[in-house]
Amino acid sequence: MNLKIAFVGLVSLFFVLPGWSQTADVKLGATGVYGEIKEGLYTNSAFKFQIQFPLDWIVLENQEAKELIKAGIKVAELDEKELERKEKYRLSLLSMLKKPAGSVDNATATLSAMKQPSSSVSPLAVANLSRKGLSESPAIRFDNDTRLINLGEKQFATFDYTMTVGERSVKGKYLVTMSGNYSITLFLSNENPADDKVLLTIVNSIRFY
C-alpha cells in the first residue's frame, strides 16, 4: 500500500472510530463541506462556531475522504465492518490538508459532529470512548493522558497520540467539546514538527458564539 495515502487515511478514519454514541437521525454532510469557508475562516451556523485555517490549505472533498478512510482502516488493522456501520451516523463538517493528499510532510485538520444521547454527556466521556477505539490499533500510541482545557468559553477534552506507518511517524491531537447534544470533534495531525505552531494557532482560533 502507498504509505503516503495511508497516512492521510489514518487521519481520516478517526471520523468513524468505535466508542462514540450515535442515533440514526444524522444524515447530513453528503457534500464536501457542511458550513461555509471563506478566506480560511470556517463558520458553522448550525453548531455556532468558527475556526480559522491557513489561507493556502486545501478542502478535501467527501468522496476522496471516503477512499482515504478505507486505506486508513486497513493500515490501522481496525474492524472495517464496524467502522462502516458507524460511518453512516457521523456528520462530516470539514476536512483540510496543507498539501494535496499523498504529499510528504503533510498536515491535516478534520472536523466532525456526532449526536450523543443527551446534552449532559461530557467531552471527557466522549474523548475516553474515542480513545478506547483508537487503542485497538497497533499503529497508534498515546503520548499523554486525556485532559480538559478551555478554549474561549468552551471546555474541551483532548489528548495527543503518535501514529506509525512503516518508518513514518505522525503526531496527532484530538479535541472534542459539546454543542447541545452533539459532540464536535477536531483531529489535527502533522509529520513535520515545523507545523506544530500552525496547528496550535488553528486550535486557539476556535470560538463558539
pLDDT tens digits, one per residue of 118-151? 899 999 999 998 888 888 888 889 999 999 999 9
Residue ranges with strand state E in 31-80: 36-38, 41-44, 49-52, 58-59
CATH number at residue 9: 3.40.1000.10
pLDDT score at 79: 52
Q: Enumerate residue ranges in the chain where pLDDT < 70.
A: 1-33, 61-90
Between CA 24 and CA 3 the distance in angstroms is 34
Categorise residue 161: left if φ over 0, alpha if ψ from -120 to 50, beta otherwise. beta
DSSP 14: G
pLDDT score at 139: 81
pLDDT score at 7: 44
pLDDT in tens, 152-170: 989 999 999 998 877 778 8
**What's the structural domain count of the chain?**
1
pLDDT score at 16: 37
pLDDT score at 90: 61
pLDDT score at 132: 86
pLDDT score at 113: 87
